[in-house]
Amino acid sequence: MCGIVGFSGKKQAAPVLLDGLAKLEYRGYDSAGIAVRDGSKPVEIVKAKGKLKILREMTDEGQAVSGTCGIGHTRWATHGEPSVTNAHPHASDDLNVVGVHNGIIENYQELKAKLIKSGYGFSSSTDTEVAVKLVDYYYKKYNGGPVDALAHAMTRIRGSYALAMMFSEYPGEVYAIRKDSPMIIGVADGESYLASDVPRDIEIHPQRLLRRRP
């Protein structure tokens, strides 16, 4: 099982995402990536095949990627070989939607064929790129915002998944959906966290705040 992390708050997101991914490393992975947003500027995506250490070096421990909102992923390939192209995050060509995914989209080939007919192109072999572009498709088709687009996509997607996504028109926000795959949200003072696993040195407070044990 691979891992998802997300963060939105006042501090820089990239170091938080890299630390979160490090806590999920024990689950196994073949590549890793982060997407970070600095306000309403275009999202920045950095991906690397192999160990998280490589991504850490590429981003100068996250210092080279500026922004207070982001998502990160460690991938265990199910569709497509381990490679930078197949590593997450994946994005729509215009960077309107960027997302990471745990799990398997069972009907991705059928969805991909429909999206190709609607004019979408694909650069990776993953089922994840299909999910991201399907959300982009519904976002633009109905103009109903992220929750509406995700809800429409979920009615079409079969399989088990946890997905975290950012939308260019919604700076500072991370959206998540899940089915059969785990995902938790932590809310603290002015910041929010997302993870596909409960790190072992964190306990869940009754009010759903995440607190580090002393």
The correct pick among 102, 111, 112, 138 for binding ligand GLU (CB under 6 A) is 102
Alpha helices in 31-144 (DSSP H): 52-58, 108-117, 127-142
Site string for ligand GLU, 126-145 (x = CB under 6 A): xxx-----------------
Residues 6+ apart with CB under 8 A from 4: 71, 72, 73, 100, 101, 102, 162, 164, 183, 194, 195, 196
Tell me how far, at minimum, the Cβ of 138 lies from ligand GLU, in Å.
Answer: 20
CA pair distance 183, 101, nearest whole angstrom: 11
Alpha helices in 59-194 (DSSP H): 108-117, 127-142, 145-156
Tell me how far, at minimum, the Cβ of 126 lies from ligand GLU, in Å.
Answer: 4
Q: What are phi and psi of 155, to 5 degrees?
A: -70, -20
Q: Does 76 bind ligand GLU (CB under 6 A)?
A: yes
Structure tokens at 24: 């999920």
CB 111 within 8 A of CB 118: no
The correct pick among 56, 101, 112, 178 for binding ligand GLU (CB under 6 A) is 101
CA pair distance 112, 75, nearest whole angstrom: 21
For ligand GLU, the closer of residues 59 and 86 by Cβ is 86
User: CA quadruple 107, 50, 48, 1: dihedral positive or negative?
Assistant: positive
For ligand GLU, the closer of residues 80 and 171 by Cβ is 80
Q: Does 77 bind ligand GLU (CB under 6 A)?
A: yes
For ligand GLU, the closer of residues 54 and 170 by Cβ is 54
CB 156 within 8 A of CB 134: yes
Site stretch for ligand GLU (CB under 6 A), options 13-21, 38-46, 57-65, 124-132: 124-132
Q: Does 2 bind ligand GLU (CB under 6 A)?
A: yes
The correct pick among 47, 75, 112, 178 for binding ligand GLU (CB under 6 A) is 75
Tell me how far, at minimum, the Cβ of 71 lies from ligand GLU, in Å.
Answer: 13
Tell me how far, at minimum, the Cβ of 57 lies from ligand GLU, in Å.
Answer: 22
The residues of the shown chain that bind ligand GLU, judged by CB under 6 A, are 2, 75-80, 86, 101-104, 126-128
